[in-house]
């Protein structure tokens, strides 16, 4: 918080910055085949599912994100154990936003993107960095374990 700001003004500015990030992230993510729901980026790469949590930090110009990938069977198994089998037929985004889901194998853990809030283009720059990092990491992971490429039928 700057010395010339009230606490309420600072909180309003942070909320506006967070909203600007989400608004910039949505089209960038969609362009790469990802979706944004409830603060999570996610991608259906059957039989795999990728989910990234994106967390703007409250007291600094830093955005932290983590990315995990799992098979759809991970959540199905958990839901079966918990007696929540009907979750398997719910919307796909539930695997990203649900309270009872698995994170999967961590591909990116706590990577930080430092932004300059005084730059008018910081939301777009941060969105491109986050979405492209996630997309490249998932592509590399899938290629390394099963030789899958996007659009491949293998």
Q: How far is CA 33 from the centre of its chain?
A: 12
What would the mean pLDDT of 43-53 be, rounded to a whole number? 95
Distance CA 77, CA 54 (A): 26
Residue with structure tokens 């720059």?
Answer: 125
The pLDDT assigned to 149 comes to: 63
Distance CA 113, CA 121 (A): 14
Q: For the segment 7-39, what is each residue's pLDDT rounded down to a tens digit?
A: 777 677 778 888 889 999 999 999 999 999 988
**Other CB atoms closer than 10 Å to residue 16's CB: what's the count?**
10
* Predicted confidence (pLDDT) at residue 153 exceeds the cutoff of 60: no
The pLDDT assigned to 39 comes to: 84
The pLDDT assigned to 9 comes to: 79
**Domain residue spans in the chain?**
7-145
pTM of the model: 0.84
* Predicted confidence (pLDDT) at residue 109 exceeds the cutoff of 60: yes
Which strand (E) or helix (H) includes residue 9?
helix 7-31
* Predicted confidence (pLDDT) at residue 45 exceeds the cutoff of 80: yes
């Amino acid at each position: 918080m700057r010395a010339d700001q009230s606490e309420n003004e600072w909180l309003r500015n942070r909320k506006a910055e967070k909203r600007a990030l989400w608004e910039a992230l949505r089209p960038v993510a969609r362009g790469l085949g990802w979706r944004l729901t409830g603060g999570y980026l996610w991608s259906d790469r059957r039989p795999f599912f990728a989910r990234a949590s994106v967390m703007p930090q409250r007291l600094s110009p830093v955005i932290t994100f983590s990315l995990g990938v799992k098979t759809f069977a991970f959540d199905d198994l958990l839901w079966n154990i918990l007696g929540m089998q009907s979750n398997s037929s719910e919307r796909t985004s539930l695997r990203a936003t649900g309270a009872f889901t698995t994170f999967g194998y961590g591909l990116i853990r706590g990577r930080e993107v430092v932004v300059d809030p005084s730059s008018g283009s910081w939301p777009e720059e941060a969105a491109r960095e986050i979405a492209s990092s996630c997309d490249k990491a998932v592509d590399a992971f899938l290629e390394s374990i099963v030789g899958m490429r996007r659009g491949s039928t293998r």
